[in-house]
Structure 1
Amino acid sequence: MSARVGVYPGTFDPVTLGHMDIIRRGAKLVDRLVIGVTTNPSKSPMFTLDERLSMVEREVASVDGDITVVAFDALLMTFAERQGASVIVRGLRAVADFEYEYQMAGMNQQINDRIETVFLMADVSLQPIASRLVKEIAMYGGAIGKFVTPTVHDDVTARVERLGRKGD
């Protein structure tokens, strides 16, 4: 029997406690979890692709399971096929996420119906967390410690200091 491979894609800019929750839980569902770190043309990243790869690798080092972190710049289904995946893992925070994710899952199924999309609901305490909001809070000098690990907090704080905080 071949190993069940799952792909968890995202920009992870920065990786949050919500992402880590989905990674921990997703790793239990598959034999190998590939975290696909990608670029999204509609988003302005705070961190470079290489920085995000390093950040995610560092954060998942202590998570149980066979987890690899890979950069990709292709259609998700093409990337998933290359990884030998049979499952796409997606996290849901709210109803608004569901509409977008449902549409994406339908499109992905049209592209490759051999790869299933599995949705994991974020832990209730982590549902409001979004990378976009973490960056915005940090840029205005707000506390982000409840949303990211201490090391990611340090990464974001250092980047904000370099970019210059807004509202000063």
Structure 2
Amino acid sequence: MSDRTRSSQPGSHAVYPGTFDPFTAGHVNVIDRVRRLFDVVTVLIAVNGEKRPVATQEQRLVALRCQLPEGWSNVQVTTWAGLTTAFCHEQQASVIVRGVRNSTDLQHEYQLAAMNEKLGITTLLVPARPELATVSSTAARALRT
């Protein structure tokens, strides 16, 4: 399939939302894998009312942009405070990407995926590489303090 053909089809733009506080090797791995599947991947630094990030949304945006390789030209980073599905509709993205490390993540993400589907957006669950399955932002934050 040519790049022209792929970019005109649904699924050419995916959104990878998260608080990314901090941004980990697991996040980088998910982005690296999905950027090869989609024409555009937007890493969406989102607000989650259940989480209390240490860094501000703007600080996380700057840090995340600095940590992505320059050659990843189809990856963009932005912030958003609303529903991820609303962002997807606004930006014509048809897929939300979510990383899954274990069975607990899977149960939670499956429920979110069902809600996203009802709102018209497909969710792609990306399993963590075995060597990264124990990496979490919560654990990384705990090590900092």
TM-score norm. by structure 2 comes to: 0.90
Q: Kindly indicate whether the alpha-carbon contact (under 8 Å) linking 1:27 and 1:65 is maintained by their aligned counterparts in 2.
A: no
Q: Pick from 95, 98, 116 the counterpart of residue 108 of structure 1.
A: 116
Q: CA deviation at 1:41?
A: 1.2
RMSD between superposed Cα atoms in Å: 1.2
What corresponds to 2:133 in structure 1?
Answer: 127
Unaligned runs of 5+ in 2: none
What corresponds to 2:107 in structure 1?
Answer: 99
Q: Kindly indicate whether the alpha-carbon contact (under 8 Å) linking 1:31 and 1:65 is maintained by their aligned counterparts in 2.
A: no
Give % identity: 34
Q: Kindly indicate whether the alpha-carbon contact (under 8 Å) linking 2:47 and 2:82 is maintained by their aligned counterparts in 1.
A: no
CA shift digits 1:51-109 (9 cap, x unpaired): 00011111124353401101001111001111210111111100000000000000111
Larger radius of gyration: 1
What corresponds to 1:28 in structure 2?
Answer: 36
Unaligned runs of 5+ in 1: 140-168
Distance 1:65 1:119, change over 3 A: farther
What corresponds to 1:8 in structure 2?
Answer: 16
Q: Kindly indicate whether the alpha-carbon contact (under 8 Å) linking 2:80 and 2:87 is maintained by their aligned counterparts in 1.
A: yes
4+ aligned runs moved over 6 Å, structure 1: none
What corresponds to 1:85 in structure 2?
Answer: 93
